[in-house]
Amino acid sequence: MGRKRLSDIPNLEGYGVFVDGIDFQHLTREEWKELGMLHMKKPVMVIRNTGLKRQHFHKLMKIWGRDRQNYAATLFAKYPWANKDRHKLMDSPEVTDHEKAILKEYDKIGGNTSGAVLRVCGDGTGLFAHGELLWHSNESGDIAFTPGVALLGDHGMTESATGFMVTTPYYYSLSESMRSELDEMVLVHNFQDGKINVEGENNLLYKNMCPEPDTEIPLVIQSPGGIKGLHFPYNTTTRIKDYPIEESVRLLNEIRWGLDKYTYDYWWENDDDLLIFDNSIVQHRRLGDTSNRLCHRYQFDYTYLCYTLTRKPYQPYLQEPYISRYIDRMKTVKLTF
């Protein structure tokens, strides 16, 4: 593994870690899985100066979990006769023009490549093609959101930052009675224009972030590592279920204010840094100059790390009916991934 060095990421209260000194050329599978188990305890991991390229990155991340793109799974389940073949979908009159437009967008950003390692860049050819990104979670309004994200830098990264907001320290800073109140809250999610990237959002983003209007998701959930925190993505949260709108706005603003201090913006130090982060109870954002920036994104489900840790699949929810709804939604996703 090399001379591995670990250090805490500032402001994240022990829920983020810098990793230095990893020799990826001689890293064993068991050593990589050991880092994965550390990540289950530290939802934000920044591995600096990796020397990795896209293909090696994909092979490594598959050891931790399977790649997932929920909208692709939904589309393939809707048209099972296509047998997961995009070309058959594009050629079929049964597939709507809107769905075909989304498939074209998906292919443009790398969705037609092995493992769906997507391009995230500033030249108009990738996901989030231009500008800074506000606080958000991926697939945030999907009850079966994909819980993990990895970003490997390629070039032009060092003028930009990826920011992280952890929610667990805030949750446990509250009184027991307040935590009990939050445990019962359910948020209502809708896609909202301009809540991530005001410079140009698209059909693919809409379908990935919140495919169904007024989706209900509990505020307090658990990460794949069993850490309780808040699933409070600013990009799709519209209100608290069954609360008067004025009270809903007041409480959500109060929570946002409390979360502000548990943030850290990592200004990329090297083009080949690797950032791996939880997508269930952590939000992220992008800052800085993205005009010549390219990184590769792998979105994954922690399948194999969860099995090692708990011997059972990931279940983010702690109450019904959301446990059952998640299981039902995952049946569709698993038909593809």
User: What is the predicted pLDDT for the residue at 154?
Assistant: 94
What is the residue-wise DSSP string for 98-118?
HHHHHHHHHHHTTTTSGGG-E
Residue 123 bridge partners (DSSP)? none
Report the distance separating Cα 117 and Cα 124, nearest Å. 17
Return the H-helix or E-strand segment holding 168: helix 168-173
Domains of the chain: 5-334 (3.60.130.10)
* Contact (CB, 8 A) for 153 and 295: yes
pLDDT beyond 80 at 277: yes
Tens of pLDDT along 299-331?
A: 999 999 999 988 899 999 999 999 999 999 998
295 SS3 class: strand
22 has pLDDT over 80: yes
Q: Which of 81-90, 231-240, 262-271, 275-284 has the lowest mean pLDDT?
A: 81-90
Mean pLDDT of the chain: 89
| pLDDT tops 50 at residue 201 | no
Q: What residues pair up with 133 in beta bridges, in sequence order?
A: 286
Lowest mean pLDDT among 121-125, 189-193, 206-210, 333-337: 121-125
Segment 96-135, tens digit of pLDDT: 887 787 777 666 655 554 445 665 655 555 555 566 788 9
Separation CA 334–CA 68 (nearest Å): 9
Specify the range with the lowest mean pLDDT, choosing from 58-72, 130-144, 191-205: 191-205
Write the CA distances from 198 to 131, 141, 294, integer angstroms. 8, 19, 19
